[in-house]
Amino acid sequence: MLNKFLSIFLIVLLILLSNPVVVEAQNSVDYPDYVIRQGDSLGYIASLFDTTINEIIELNNISNPDFISPGQIIKIPSLPGTTGTLELVTTQLGENYSILSVKYSADVAEITRINRVLAPTRIFPGSTLIIPTQKSVGSLIPVDNIIQNETGLECAVGNGKNPHVLNLQNQINNVNLEIPGMIIFSDSTRGSKLIDLFAPLIDEVKLYPLPLVQGATEVVSVKSDSPLILKGTLGEYELTFFNDTASQYYSLQGIHALADPGLVEFKLSATFEDGSTHSFSQMVLLSPGIFEEDPPLSVDPKTIEPSVTEPENELVFSLISSISPNKYWVDIFSSPAVYQEYNSLFGTRRWYNDDPEVRFHSGVDFAGGLTLPVSSPAPGLVVFAGPLTVRGNTVFIDHGWGVFSGFFHQDTLYVKVGDRVETGQAIGTVGNTGRVNGAGDYYGAGAHLHWELWVNKVQVDPLNWLTEKYP
Is residue 380 located within the same domain as residue 454?
Answer: yes
User: Does some domain include residue 294?
Assistant: no
162, 228: one domain? no
| Judgement on whether residues 405 and 431 belong to the same structural domain of the protein | yes
Assigned domain for 443 exists = yes
> 414 and 377, same structural domain?
yes
Domains: count for the chain: 4
Query: Quick one: 248 and 345 in the same domain?
Result: no
* Residues 367 and 385 grouped into a single domain: yes
Question: Are 69 and 115 in the same domain?
Answer: yes
Q: What is the CATH number of the domain that holds 38?
A: 3.10.350.10
Does 106 share its domain with 35? Answer: yes
Kindly report the backbone phi and psi dihedral angles of residue 14, in degrees, each rounded to the nearest multiple of 5, phi listed first. Answer: -65, -40
**For residue 174, is it within any domain?**
yes
pLDDT given for residue 105 in this prediction: 86
Residue-level pLDDT at 469: 95
Task: Provide the domain limits for residue 33.
Answer: 28-133
**What's the pLDDT at 140?**
79
Per-residue model confidence (pLDDT) at position 180: 64
- Average pLDDT per block of 10 residues along the chain, 471 residues long: 44 42 56 95 95 95 90 96 94 92 88 86 92 78 67 67 71 64 71 81 95 98 95 97 93 97 97 95 97 84 88 97 96 96 93 83 93 97 97 98 98 98 98 86 88 98 97 94
CB burial of 398-410 (b: ≥16 within 10 Å; e: otherwise) equals: bbbbbbbbbbbbb
Q: Which of 244, 123, 102, 249 is nearest to 179 (CA)?
A: 102
**First-residue to last-residue Cα distance in the chain:** 88
pLDDT exceeding 90 applies to what percent of the chain?
A: 65
Which tens digits make up the pLDDT trace of 371-408?
A: 999 999 999 999 999 999 999 999 999 999 999 999 99
Q: Are residues 268 and 325 in the same domain?
A: no
Distance CA 287, CA 283 (A): 13
Same domain, 172 and 215: no
Asked if 255 and 236 touch (Cβ cutoff 8 Å), the reply is: no
